Amino acid sequence: MADVVHPVHGEVHRHPAPTGFIRKWVFSTDHKVIGIQYWCLALFSVFIGMALSLLMRLQLGWPGEEWGFLKTLFPNAAENGTISGELYLSMLTMHGTIMVFFVLTTAPQGGFGNYFLPIQIGADDMAFPVLNMMSFWITFLALVVLISAFFADSLAPMFGMTAASNVIGPIGGWTGYAPLSALGEKAGPGQGLGVILWITSIALFCIASLLGALNFITTMLNMRAKGMSLMRLPLTCWAWFTTAVLALLSFPVLLAAGILLLLDHLAGTSFFIPGNSYVNGKLITEHSGGSPILWQHLFWFFGHPEVYIAILPGMGLTSHILATFARKPVFGYRVMVYALFSIGLLGFFVWGHHMFISGMSPYSAIAFSLITLTIGVPSAIKTFNWLGTLWGGQIRFTTPMLFAIGFVSLFVSGGITGLFLGQTSIDLPLHDTYFVVGHFHLIMGVAAIFGMFAGTYFWFPKMFGKMMNEGMGKLHFFITFIGVNAIFIPMHIMGMAGATRRYSFHFNPVTGEGLHYLSNMTPLTRFVSYAAFFTIAGQLIFLVNLVWSWAKGRKASENPWEATSLEWTIPSPPPHDNFAGILPEVHRGPYEYSVPGAPRDFMMQSEPGAAEVHGD
Amino acid sequence: MPTTLTTDVEIKPGIGAGGGKLGPGGDPFGSGPAGSKDWPPGWTSEDAIEPEKYRIGMWVGLASILMLFIALTSAYIVRGVPALSGGDSDWLPIAMPGVLWFTTGVLLVSSVTIEFARRALKRNEYARFKRWISLTTLFGVAFLVGQLIAWQQLAAQGVFINSHPHSSFFYLLTSLHGVHLLGGVIALSYVTVAALRMRIGFKRRTAVDVTAIYWHFMDGLWIYLFGLLFFFR
C-alpha cells in the first residue's frame, strides 16, 4: 500500500455554516438549531397536553353536562356532547404520555441541554452532530406516531382491524399496565391499534433518547475547553450529565419492556398475560403463564429514573440562576454535585415504591421504603444550599429568578408529600387517589415546568438576541404560581377524602350517580377546575410574550444578566461555531460573584487573574 | 473559518474540540502512529482527539446495550421461575439446535481474527490486515446464516415464537443479538471495502479499533446468551 500523505487543511469546526434553508433549519447538525427544534417541539406538545387537561377538568367539574363543541371535536367519541369514560381515559393517556416524554424529557435536556452544554464547556458543537440530528428527528417521528394514536379509531380499518366507535386512542394511562395493555382489542376499545402505535412511539422515543444521552456524555467527558476542570463546570452541565447517565441506563429497560409488550400484541407470546384471564366477558385462552407484575417492574425500573430525568435539569438550572441573581457563589458547590449524583444513583433502587399495592413481600417493601426516604437527604441538602445561596444575597428579582425561587418552593411542597407516599403504611390507602396526582404534578410536573420557564426567560436573550418583556413575565409568574398551587394542593385533600384517580367523574350531582361519599367534594372539584382554566389562560401571556419579544423585544447585549459562564462571553445569538474558531480558556470557577477585591461583582470564567478561586 | 493548527500544539486527551462523523469525507490517507506528537502535514490536533471521542462513545453505547439485555435477562428469570411468575408455570425448554455450537465457534474465532487484523494494522502490515479483516467479515456473515439455520431447524420442529415462553425468549434474544451483530457486520464490511481499496487513513484506523471493541462485546454477549438460554433453563 502506498503511504501517500496528502496535505489536507484542518478546520477547528468540522462542518462549515450551512447555507441552504433545509440544511440550516430543518436537517441541521448545529447543536443550537437542534436545541431550538427540541424546544419548539416541547412548546407545541405542552399546549396539546394542556388542552387535554382543560377538557378533562371540564368533565370532572361538570360531569354529564352537554357541550356542543365536543360533538364537533369528537363526532365518534362524544356523540352526545359529553365525554365518555373511554374518551376520558384516552385523553388521560395522551396527556400523561405527551407531557412526560415530549415535554418534561425533551425541553430541559434536548432543548436547553443541547443548546447550552457545548457552549458552557467551551466546545464548538456536540461530539457527534449527525447522531444529534438523528436524535431530534426520531423524537419528532415518535411524536407524529403518538399523535396518530389519537386517530386509531379512524385508522383501524386501514389495518384490517375493527374500529371501536366510542374511543379515540389508547386508554391504558402513561404506565400502560399489563395485562390489559397486552391483550389488544380483546381488552376493549382503543387497546388494539391505539396501544400498538403508543408502544411504537415510546420505543422510537427510547432510541432517540439513547442517541442523545450518548452524545451528552461523550461531549462532556471529551470536549471541555482548556482549564474547564470538572469542578469548574456550571451546575447546569452536571445536571445534564447526570440526566444523560440516567437516560442511558433506564431507557433500554423501557425499550426491552416495550418490545416484550409489542410481541404479546403481534406475535402471540405471553410475557405479561397470565392464564385464565377473564376480560370483557370472555375467557382468554390464547395466552397463559405471563406475569403482569413483570411489566410493572420493568416499567418502573425505567419510570422512577425518568421522573429524575425530568427534574434534574431544573435543579441545575435553579442553582445556576439563584447564584446569578443573588450575586453570590452557589453555597456548597461540591456538595451540590455530590447530591445531584446521589439522587440519580438512588433513583435506580426505589422503583418498588410505585408498586406497594402489587402484593409484593412486605420485606422488599420496607427496603424500597427505606431507600426512598434516603433520597430525602440529598434533596434536603440541595434545598438548604439553595436557601444558603439566597441568604444575604443582593437579590435581583428578575423573571427567571422568580421562576427559580418558585421551583424551590414547588420542590419543597411536592417533595414533602413524597415522604408520605414513600412509606408503605401511608401509601396503601393513598395509592391511586388524587393525593398521588397532586404530589407528582407538583414535583415532576410543575416544578420541572418552572425550571423550563426559568430557563426560557434566562436564555431567551442568548438564543434569540432579544430581551423578553419583564412586565408580562412577572404577571405570567404570579398567575402560574398562584394557579398551580390552587390546582394541586386541593387535590391532596381530595385524595385523603378518597377521590380515586383515573375516574372520568366522582359524583354527578344532576343524576346522583357515582361515589356518594364524594358528593360534598363537588365544590372543591369545581374550584380546581376553575383554577386550571385560570392557569391555562395565564399561559397565553407567555405565548404572547414569546412572539412579541421575538419580533419587537429590546436587543440583548452579550451579557445582559452580568453572569459568569462561557455562553455570556459570545454574541447573542451566538455565531455558527460558537466561539468563531478560537476556543476559550477557562481560568476560574463558574460562580465567582462578589469576589472580595475584584473590580466588578462578577468574574467571567474566561477572565485570567491571579486569584484562582475554586467553585467551593 | 478554517484554521490550520501547527504541530507544536500540545494535545491532551479530554481537552479540545471536535465534531464530525464516523465515515468518509476529507480523510488524510496517511498512516502514522497514533498518539505521536509529530503530525504528518495536514493533520490537525482534532485528528488526535477523534479516536478518544469514538472510543468513549462506543463504551457509552455498549453500556446501554448491556442494560437492554440485563432487562431481558431479568424478564427471563422472572418468567422462568414458577414461584415468581405466579405459580402456573408453562416453562418448557426447547432442544438446542445443533448448529448453534458451530455458530458459537465461528464467532469465537472471529474475535481472534479481528484482533489479528487490528495488530497487523498497528504494525502497518496491510496485506495481513486485509486478509484478517475480510476473514472476520466472512465469519460474521457465517454466524448470521447459522442463526437463520437454527431458526429454520426449530420451525421445522414446529417450534415458533409463540409456542411457549422459552421459545419466545430464544427467538427474541437471538434476533435482538442478531440485529446488533448485523450492525457490526456492516461496520466490518465498510472497513474491509476501504482496506481492499487501499484507503485506510487515520479515521478508518479508529473505525477498525472501535469496531473491534464492538465485535468483542457482541461475541461476549452471545456466549452469555447461549449460556443463559441453554444452560439455565
Mean pLDDT for the stretch of residues A380-398? 96
Q: Which of B221, B202, B229, B211 is nearest to B29 (CA)?
A: B202
Mutual angle of helices A114-121 and A235-266, in 10-degree steps: 140
Q: How many CA atoms lie within 13 A of A75 on its CB side?
A: 2
Bigger pLDDT: A374 vs B1: A374
Bigger pLDDT: B26 vs A220: A220
Alpha helices, H only, A223-291:
235-266
The minimal CB distance from B44 to the residues A10, A222, A270 is found for A10
Q: Inform me whether the C-beta atom of residue A277 falls under 8 Å from chain B C-beta atoms.
A: no
Chain B hits for A251, CB-CB cut-off 8 Å, are 64
Environment class of residue A75 by beta-carbon count within 10 Å: exposed (0-12), middle (13-18) or buried (19+)?
exposed
**Which helix (H) or strand (E) is B195 found in, with range?**
helix B165-196
The predicted-structure confidence for A18-41, as pLDDT tens digits, reads as follows: 778 888 888 999 999 999 999 999
Q: Which of B94, B212, B109, B100 is nearest to B164 (CA)?
A: B94
The minimal CB distance from B71 to the residues A13, A248, A256 is found for A256
pLDDT at residue A112 greater than cutoff 90: yes
Q: Are strands A282-283 and A278-279 parallel, antiparallel or unpaired?
A: antiparallel
The DSSP call for residue B59 is H
Round the average pLDDT of chain B to a whole number and report it: 80
Q: Inform me whether the C-beta atom of residue B165 falls under 8 Å from chain A C-beta atoms.
A: yes
The predicted-structure confidence for A145-162, as pLDDT tens digits, reads as follows: 999 988 887 777 777 766
Q: Inform me whether the C-beta atom of residue A14 falls under 8 Å from chain B C-beta atoms.
A: yes
Of A342-351, A425-434, B32-41, minimum mean pLDDT range? B32-41
Q: Which three cell numbers stand for residue A422?
A: 414513600
Chain B stretch 106-125, residues whose beta carbon is closer than 8 A to a beta carbon of chain A? 124
Q: Give Dmax over CA atoms of chain A in angstroms.
A: 89
Q: Inform me whether the C-beta atom of residue A4 falls under 8 Å from chain B C-beta atoms.
A: yes
Bigger pLDDT: A471 vs A577: A471
Q: Inform me whether the C-beta atom of residue B92 falls under 8 Å from chain A C-beta atoms.
A: no
Bigger pLDDT: A98 vs B93: A98
ipTM of the complex: 0.92
Å from B95 to nearest chain A CA?
Answer: 19
Choose the mutation target among B67, B91, B130 for the interface with A, i.e. most A CBs under 10 Å. B67
Mean pLDDT for the stretch of residues A112-128? 95
Alpha helices, H only, A278-329:
292-326
Per cent of chain A over pLDDT 90 is 78
The minimal CB distance from B68 to the residues A222, A225, A256 is found for A256
Chain B stretch 46-75, residues whose beta carbon is closer than 8 A to a beta carbon of chain A? 46-47, 49, 52-53, 56-57, 60-61, 63-65, 67-68, 70-72, 74-75
Query: Which chain B residue shows the shortest CA-CA distance from A292?
Result: B85
Contact residues for A360 (Cβ-Cβ < 8 A; gap 6+): A352
The DSSP call for residue B67 is H
Amino acid (one-letter) located at A308: Y
The b-or-e profile of B177-213 (16+ CB within 10 A means b, else e) is bbebbeebbebbebbbebbeeeebbbbbbbbbbbbbb
The predicted-structure confidence for A581-616, as pLDDT tens digits, reads as follows: 888 999 999 999 999 988 899 999 999 875 555 544
The predicted-structure confidence for B105-131, as pLDDT tens digits, reads as follows: 999 999 999 999 999 998 888 899 999
Mean pLDDT for the stretch of residues A460-474? 97
What are the Cα distances from residue A537, in Å, to A88, A99, A534? 22, 18, 5
Q: Inform me whether the C-beta atom of residue A7 falls under 8 Å from chain B C-beta atoms.
A: yes
pLDDT at residue A109 greater than cutoff 50: yes
Chain A stretch 135-154, residues whose beta carbon is closer than 8 A to a beta carbon of chain B? none
Q: Which three cell numbers stand for residue A249?
A: 441506563
The minimal CB distance from B85 to the residues A123, A130, A291 is found for A291
Q: Inform me whether the C-beta atom of residue A271 falls under 8 Å from chain B C-beta atoms.
A: yes
Chain B hits for A577, CB-CB cut-off 8 Å, are 1
Chain A hits for B168, CB-CB cut-off 8 Å, are 263, 267, 269-271
Could you identify the residue written with the cell 439455520? B149
Contact residues for A66 (Cβ-Cβ < 8 A; gap 6+): A80, A81, A82
DSSP assignment of A468-497 = PPHHHHHHHHHHHHHHHHHHHHHHHHHHHT
Residue B6 confidence class, pLDDT cut points 50, 70, 90? very low
Round the average pLDDT of chain A to a whole number and report it: 91
Chain A stretch 161-220, residues whose beta carbon is closer than 8 A to a beta carbon of chain B? 210, 213-215, 217-218
Mean pLDDT for the stretch of residues B74-94? 74
Whether a cis peptide bond, with omega within 30° of 0, leads into A573 is yes
What pTM was estimated for this model as a whole?
0.90
Could you identify the residue written with the cell 473559518? B1
pLDDT at residue B39 greater than cutoff 70: no
CA distance A207 to A406: 33
- pLDDT in the model for residue B88: 56
Could you identify the residue written with the cell 449460556? B227
Chain B hits for A249, CB-CB cut-off 8 Å, are 63-64, 67
Query: Which chain B residue shows the shortest CA-CA distance from A9?
Result: B42
Amino acid (one-letter) located at A536: I
Query: Which chain A residue shows the shortest CA-CA distance from B69?
Result: A256
Contact residues for A200 (Cβ-Cβ < 8 A; gap 6+): A145, A262
Chain A stretch 299-338, residues whose beta carbon is closer than 8 A to a beta carbon of chain B? 301
Bigger pLDDT: A444 vs A187: A444
The beta-strand segments (E) located in A236-376 are 278-279, 282-283
Of A234-238, A300-304, B39-43, B105-109, minimum mean pLDDT range? B39-43
CA distance A480 to A536: 8
Q: Which of A196, A187, A116 is nearest to A149 (CA)?
A: A196
Q: Contact A256/B75, CB-based, under 8 Å?
A: yes
Query: Which chain A residue shows the shortest CA-CA distance from B46?
Result: A12
CA distance B77 to B193: 42
Q: Contact B30/A267, CB-based, under 8 Å?
A: no
Straight-line distance from the first to the last Cα atom of chain A, in angstroms, rounded to the nearest whole number: 56
Å from B225 to nearest chain A CA?
Answer: 15
pLDDT at residue A484 greater than cutoff 90: yes
Å from B180 to nearest chain A CA?
Answer: 14
Q: Which three cell numbers stand for residue A598?
A: 475584584
Residue A559 confidence class, pLDDT cut points 50, 70, 90? very high
Mean pLDDT for the stretch of residues B131-142? 96
Dihedral sign for Cα atoms in the order A253, A256, A262, A265:
negative
Whether a cis peptide bond, with omega within 30° of 0, leads into A599 is no
Contact residues for B201 (Cβ-Cβ < 8 A; gap 6+): B27, B28, B29, B30, B31
> CB contacts < 8 Å between A and B, how many?
203
Cβ distance A39 to A112 under 8 Å? yes
- pLDDT in the model for residue B5: 38
The minimal CB distance from A291 to the residues B26, B57, B86 is found for B86
Chain B hits for A359, CB-CB cut-off 8 Å, are none
